[in-house]
Amino acid sequence: MKRVLNVGCGPEEIDRLHAAFRGEDWSEVRYDIDQRVRPDVVGSITDLGAVGDTRFDAIWCSHNLEHLHTHEVPRALAEFRSVLAPDGFALICTPDLESIAEMIVHGRLEDVAYHSPAGPITPLDMLYGLSSAIARGNDFMAHHTGFTTERLGRLLVEAGFSEALIKRGSGFDLWALALMPDSNKEVILRHFQAHQLDLDPDGAA
């Protein structure tokens, strides 16, 4: 049984865990700073000490890093690496500042870019956090930093990952696969391709 740490997991809903981790051979540990979503472990991703000595085969981090302040990101990525097994990996998804900027420069800051389960999403939401959720008092939804392909890849390598594959997605998002020193890249890439996520440099996320 492989173990995946779902950091910034949010409420317990099946679609919050990437399909690649939903098989019977994966066991999920839910981790979040907000105890209202009833995670398995409560804590900030800038300090994963609460998981103890457990080493995980994978980390899944979906739309979470942008909630940190800029100076906190290197610390969080170093924490990711510290709890991964030597052959583990991290799969990370964040908003793509470059594609968001393309809408903004065309005067579409408050136009709906796409519809999510939480409602319509605008470039303004992607930059600063979901306005409707923040208005309801969920300050955890605010965004404090952002990423381009270059910045995310560089920060992952600087955090000590042996390799980082970064792809721009089709929905205003970036995808990153961060590999540990003993990771089998080819096997991992095939696993994601089987779940409709192509992270190969010549593919499309």
First-to-last C-alpha distance (Å) of the chain: 27
Tell whether 115 is covered by a domain.
Answer: no
Tell whether 117 is covered by a domain.
Answer: no
φ and ψ at 174, to 5 degrees?
-115, 145
Q: What percent of the chain has pLDDT over 90?
A: 86
Q: Which residues does 131 contact at the CB level (< 8 Å), separation at least 6?
A: 122, 124, 125
Tell whether 60 is covered by a domain.
Answer: yes
Tell whether 62 is covered by a domain.
Answer: yes
For 94, the enclosing helix (H) or strand (E) is strand 84-95
What is the predicted pLDDT for the residue at 71?
97
Per the structure, the count of domains in the chain is 1
- The answer to whether the beta carbons of residues 195 and 205 sit under 8 Å apart is no
pTM tops 0.85: yes
The tokens for 62 are 């979906």
pLDDT band at 170 (very low <50, low <70, confident <90, very high): confident
pLDDT band at 151 (very low <50, low <70, confident <90, very high): very high
Tell whether 169 is covered by a domain.
Answer: yes
Domain holding 83, by residue range, is 2-95+146-193
Tell whether 88 is covered by a domain.
Answer: yes
Residue 14 has pLDDT above 80, yes or no: yes
Q: Output DSSP code: residue 81.
A: H
CATH number at residue 161: 3.40.50.150
pLDDT band at 15 (very low <50, low <70, confident <90, very high): confident
Q: Which residues does 102 contact at the CB level (< 8 Å), separation at least 6?
A: none
Pairing of strands 173-179, 163-168: antiparallel
Averaged pLDDT of the chain:
94
pLDDT digits (tens, 9 = 90+) for 16-43: 999 999 999 999 999 999 999 999 999 9
Tell whether 120 is covered by a domain.
Answer: no
pLDDT band at 203 (very low <50, low <70, confident <90, very high): very low
The tokens for 152 are 């995310």
Tell whether 41 is covered by a domain.
Answer: yes
What is the predicted pLDDT for the residue at 7?
97
Residue 90 has pLDDT above 50, yes or no: yes
For 14-65, the three-class secondary structure string (H helix, E strand, C coil) is HHHCCHHHCCCCEEEEEEECCHHHCCCEECCCCCCHHHCCCCEEEEEEECCH
